[in-house]
Structure formats: structure tokens, C-alpha cells
Chains A and B, each alone.
Chain A
């Protein structure tokens, strides 16, 4: 996988899938349309202040609540290159891997990196570098099984390759 590099948009604990993509937009499943409303209820300027390749950093339990896959889909379709968090809610974690949205758990990075920092992530080593601050962190590597899923480009491709 290629490195992710971009400016950080920083959030706190328990960012739930209702604020990532409010249910009033769930009458659509079109990624481009969902992207227009991504993070709208937690950060109404999200779509204005983000650029393609930017990185979301949040603290505990990112993606809690509803199982809606529309949440990681809207983040990926917005052009976010990676989400770093202290922990992820389990359904969001599965969904992100299944649709090929890169995510990485790293408690220190999640706490210390600030909004607006320039950050780079090397997915092969799991190393997260805060270019602005000149610090680096070791993120948690994926188990081998998940690496295979990611390498295949998500669960659908993995199943197609293994059937």
C-alpha cells in the first residue's frame, strides 16, 4: 500500500456514525452523495476545510453506534486517506477493512497529533510521522488475515479470489 500523507482534521472521543453520516441522508446509498454530508453534524465545515488525502485523527471509540456502512463509505468517498484513532468501535473497524478505507490504531498518536498537523503514514511498517511536530509513532499492525483482506482490496475481492 502507498503511504498516506495529508493535513489532520482532529476530533475527540466517541465520534458516532450518526454524526459521521446523519440518518436523514440514508435514503441514498450513492457514495458521492453521502460524501457531501460526511461529518456534517460534528463539523459543518468539514467538506469545505478538507482536501483530498487529508487524515482524520480521533481519540477513543471512533465510529460507535449504528452499523451503517454508509459512514466509512462517506469518509472514503470524501477523499480521506486514513483514519487514526486510539480505538475503533468494532462494527466500524470491520466495515472500514471490508470496503478498503485505511484505518490504524495508535493511542499516543491519536492523543498528541493536533488539528492542522501534516502527517504521513507508512502502512507497510505502521509508522505514523507528524511532520509538523517532528515526532513519530508505531501504529498497530493488522493481523495477517486482515492484511490479506486489505491486499485483495476488500472482502468482495477476497471472496472472488478464493472461490
Chain B
């Protein structure tokens, strides 16, 4: 029986000729990642292990990005703990404020994630790197500690759902609408423990930034990973970014899938997830038919939608317009490089002239940390990835997940809207 793309990557990392769904394997790791929330717990655990230092100082990435620049004294202590651990162990890929970005935007940009890699990260959105044809998955802090100590992790080999994409997006539809549509269709546990393999002729039309957005939210369907084939666009991206050799894998023609789902990209509409689950999706037409959803705040950024394409889409909508009175709009370019590019392309000027504030890269508002925490009864349209109860602040606040195009248009209107409504 053939193997899926994910199974082939895992077999190689485990030193096996083949694996099948359900096998428990021990795999070698190409990268172990942590941030300022999860790393302190991992550092505490690794100190309890009878090991000398870390397995490879070049294969660990520590990215303080959640509550930095430090939001309070306790966060500062966490960051200090990570910084000192990085110094003590001479970690090559530690990114200080000023060099950093949101981890899942930063690492591909720095060329640290390449096709064929097996990557674990103590952050659930580690699945983002599947966009490049790597196996990457989120774990907890103890797994991160064990990974840093031994360079290995255990996995149960996943079965897979195949998403066969055809056609092309119509105007104002993007990767975010695709992944929200999928989560709406299969549910927040629709891919529990499974790989989500995206394939078919429609893949070629997706930009790399769209693929990052789609793979990033595999976890919101319960998936173990999301993965794309390596094609010309991937190779072009890697030419610009990759710092090391990589291995390209393809699913076998006779690979077995639990389910095959066909999606015609041209049929998708701007899609928004209502509170309090990402699966609670409504298309823009349905929303218009149901009546205006008034909002208080807009957030454009995050590991899901803080890349340069996202910034360009938002700026195109906001250019020459002003956000509605009483609305707060917060734009967060995901890395220093994206920020610089926004500056060079004149996007920052557009954001500021339209009434938005532009922040340094941080995860802050997405998880109700800082930089846009909400009060009771407030509503936010956000390009982030979760709309759980209390996710962005008070338990009685609400988050509506959307694309950068919808978020920008909603900021202008003061209620949920898409660019066609302007």
C-alpha cells in the first residue's frame, strides 16, 4: 500500500522504509521551536533531565513573540529566562526584539523550515510550515524539552484527508476564506489526529502566503498537520529564503485516504467565522441577508494573516478611505522584514492615513494578551485564528474571524463587510 506525503516524510525521519497509519515511531527532528509562553516551562523541564545541554544548538529556534516587547513584569521574567537559556546553550536561532517576528512568519522567511523537514514547536500553529512541504506539528512544553534534549520525538503516524483543489479564487477571496470554508464543512474536530493534504490543479494558483494561511489553521480542524506539495512556487520561495538542502516528497498514487474532499476554488465566497468556534462559518451573502453585524475593533495581522500579501490586500482596500468613526483598527506586520517592506511600499502611510494604528510584530491581541484586549460586549473582526470564549479579552466579548480584505472593509463600514460593499 502506498504512503501519503506526510507518511513518507515520517518514514525517512524514523529511518524506516515504510510506515502506516497508527504506527508509533521515533523520528529525528530538524527543528524544535518555542516562544516566550511555552519555552520557560520547557526550560524548567529540561533542567530536570539528566542531559548535557541541547542536542544541536543550530536546530532550535527560540522566538519571544507573544508578550514582547514585555507587557508586564512577569512577562519580562519569562523572556529573561528564555534569553539566558539561549545564551547559556549558545542557541544560534534566538531572535531578540528588533530581530524577531511572529514565529510562524519568521522561521520560513529566515529559511529555517524547508521541504521534507520534521519540525515540532511548542505552539499549536507550528503546522504552518506544511505550506513548504514539511511535516510540522504543535506540541507542548515537555515534548519541546525532550526534543531539545534528544533531537527526537515520538509520533503516532496519522491517516489523512485529501483536499482536491480545482479552479481559482474569484476577486476578494483568499486562502483564509478557503480554510474557514473547510473548517465550517468538517468541523473543529473534523481532522482530529489526521493529516490534511492539499493537492490538485488548484494548488498552483495559490500564493505561498495563501498556503501558509491554510496550513496554519489545520489545527483549527483538529489536524495533526496540513501539507502542500512542493511546486514551482515553492521552489521559487526557497531560492530566496532556504539556508540548507531540502528533500521533496510526493504522495504515492495508491496512497490511502480516510476521505477525499473536492473543492472548486472559484465557488468560494468571503467567509467569516462567528463566535465562538471557527466552524461557525457564514458567507458574506448570508451575513448581508441576516442583517448588519456592528463592530468595535478590527485586527489585521497574526501568524495566520500578517505577511506582506495580507498587508497589501488590506492597504489596497484602505487606500484613500478612512475607517468608520468609533472603530479601532490595529495592523500588525508579522515580522521586521514585512514591516520594512510595508514602509518601502508606502503601506504604513496608507494604514495611518486611514486611521489605523500600526504595531511592532507581536501575537498580543490574538490571545487577549495586550495591544487590543476587548471589554465586555465588544466585537472584533480579526484576521487571527481563534474565536473561542474570552479569546481576545472579556468572556462577554466576541471575535469574528475573517480575511484581510473583509477585515479592512469592515473597519471602513463599521460592520462586517467585504470590498464589494464599499
Using a CB–CB cutoff of 8 Å, the interface residues on chain A facing chain B are: 14, 16, 18-19, 22-24, 26-29, 41-42, 60-61, 64-70, 72-73, 87, 89-91, 94-95, 98-99, 143, 145, 154-156, 159-160, 163
User: With A27-B75, A98-B140 given, is the CB distance from A22 to B38 under 8 Å?
Assistant: no
Chain B residues within 8 Å of chain A by Cβ, number: 51
**In the complex, are the beta carbons of A156 and B145 less than 8 A apart?**
yes
**In the complex, are the beta carbons of B224 and A90 less than 8 A apart?**
yes
Q: Is B71 in contact with chain A by the CB < 8 A criterion?
A: yes
State the CA gap A22–B373 with chains docked (Å): 13
State the CA gap A26–B366 with chains docked (Å): 14
State the CA gap A99–B142 with chains docked (Å): 7
**Contact sample, A vs B, 28 pairs, CB 8 Å cutoff:** A18-B390, A19-B389, A24-B373, A26-B37, A26-B367, A27-B71, A27-B75, A27-B78, A29-B78, A61-B188, A64-B188, A65-B386, A65-B388, A66-B124, A66-B367, A67-B124, A69-B38, A69-B122, A73-B41, A89-B189, A95-B139, A95-B143, A98-B143, A143-B24, A155-B146, A156-B145, A159-B51, A160-B50
**In the complex, are the beta carbons of B44 and A61 less than 8 A apart?**
no
Report the nearest B residue to A146, measured CB to CB.
B24
Report the nearest B residue to A98, measured CB to CB.
B142
Q: Is B222 in contact with chain A by the CB < 8 A criterion?
A: yes
**In the complex, are the beta carbons of B72 and A27 less than 8 A apart?**
yes
Instruction: Give, as a whole number of angstroms, the nearest-CB distance from A45 to chain B.
Output: 14
For A23, the chain B residues whose CB sits under 8 A away are 37, 367-369, 391
Within 8 A of A (CB), among B311-330: none
**In the complex, are the beta carbons of A69 and B141 less than 8 A apart?**
yes
Q: Is B244 in contact with chain A by the CB < 8 A criterion?
A: no
For B193, the chain A residues whose CB sits under 8 A away are 90
Q: Is B212 in contact with chain A by the CB < 8 A criterion?
A: no
Q: Is B277 in contact with chain A by the CB < 8 A criterion?
A: yes
For B277, the chain A residues whose CB sits under 8 A away are 14
With A89-B189, A90-B193, A163-B49 known, 15 other A-B pairs at CB within 8 A are A24-B368, A27-B67, A27-B71, A28-B74, A61-B188, A61-B189, A67-B123, A68-B140, A69-B122, A69-B142, A70-B37, A95-B139, A156-B48, A156-B49, A156-B145
Instruction: Give, as a whole number of angstroms, the nearest-CB distance from B121 to chain A.
Output: 8
Q: Mark B29-54, 1 if CB is under 8 A from A, else 0.
A: 00000000110110011001111000
User: With A29-B44, A98-B142 given, is the CB distance from A18 to B391 under 8 Å?
Assistant: yes
For B75, the chain A residues whose CB sits under 8 A away are 27
For B389, the chain A residues whose CB sits under 8 A away are 16, 18-19, 41-42
**In the complex, are the beta carbons of A41 and B192 less than 8 A apart?**
no
State the CA gap A29–B75 with chains docked (Å): 10
Taking a contact as CB atoms closer than 8 A, the residue among A22, A64, A145 that contacts B154 in the complex is A145
State the CA gap A94–B67 with chains docked (Å): 25
Taking a contact as CB atoms closer than 8 A, the residue among A61, A66, A99 that contacts B192 in the complex is A61
Q: What are the 9 closest A-B residue pairs judged by CB atoms, nearest first?
A: A95-B140, A27-B74, A69-B140, A98-B142, A23-B367, A61-B189, A67-B124, A69-B141, A41-B390
State the CA gap A10–B252 with chains docked (Å): 44
Using a CB–CB cutoff of 8 Å, the interface residues on chain B facing chain A are: 24, 37-38, 40-41, 44-45, 48-51, 66-67, 71-72, 74-75, 78, 122-124, 126, 138-143, 145-146, 149-150, 154, 188-189, 192-193, 219, 222, 224, 277, 367-369, 373, 386, 388-391, 395
For A155, the chain B residues whose CB sits under 8 A away are 142-143, 145-146
Instruction: Give, as a whole number of angstroms, the nearest-CB distance from B143 to chain A.
Output: 6
For A19, the chain B residues whose CB sits under 8 A away are 388-390
User: With A18-B389, A145-B154 given, is the CB distance from A64 to B143 under 8 Å?
Assistant: no
Instruction: Give, as a whole number of angstroms, the nearest-CB distance from A158 to chain B.
Output: 9
State the CA gap A67–B386 with chains docked (Å): 13
Instruction: Give, as a whole number of angstroms, the nearest-CB distance from B33 to chain A.
Output: 11
State the CA gap A90–B38 with chains docked (Å): 17
Report the nearest B residue to A30, measured CB to CB.
B74
For B386, the chain A residues whose CB sits under 8 A away are 16, 18, 65-66
Report the nearest A residue to B37, measured CB to CB.
A26
For A42, the chain B residues whose CB sits under 8 A away are 389
Taking a contact as CB atoms closer than 8 A, the residue among A27, A29, A41, A90 that contacts B41 in the complex is A29
Instruction: Give, as a whole number of angstroms, the nearest-CB distance from A87 to chain B.
Output: 6
The listed residue with most A CB atoms (<10 A of its CB), out of B142, B192, B224, B277, is B142
Instruction: Give, as a whole number of angstroms, the nearest-CB distance from A66 to chain B.
Output: 5
For B140, the chain A residues whose CB sits under 8 A away are 67-69, 72, 91, 94-95, 98-99
State the CA gap A77–B193 with chains docked (Å): 27
User: With A29-B44, A67-B122 given, is the CB distance from A60 to B142 under 8 Å?
Assistant: no
**In the complex, are the beta carbons of A24 and B141 less than 8 A apart?**
no
State the CA gap A6–B66 with chains docked (Å): 37
Taking a contact as CB atoms closer than 8 A, the residue among A89, A143, A145 that contacts B222 in the complex is A89
For B126, the chain A residues whose CB sits under 8 A away are 67
Report the nearest A residue to B50, measured CB to CB.
A160
For B66, the chain A residues whose CB sits under 8 A away are 26
**In the complex, are the beta carbons of A67 and B395 less than 8 A apart?**
no
**In the complex, are the beta carbons of A69 and B41 less than 8 A apart?**
yes
**In the complex, are the beta carbons of A65 and B146 less than 8 A apart?**
no
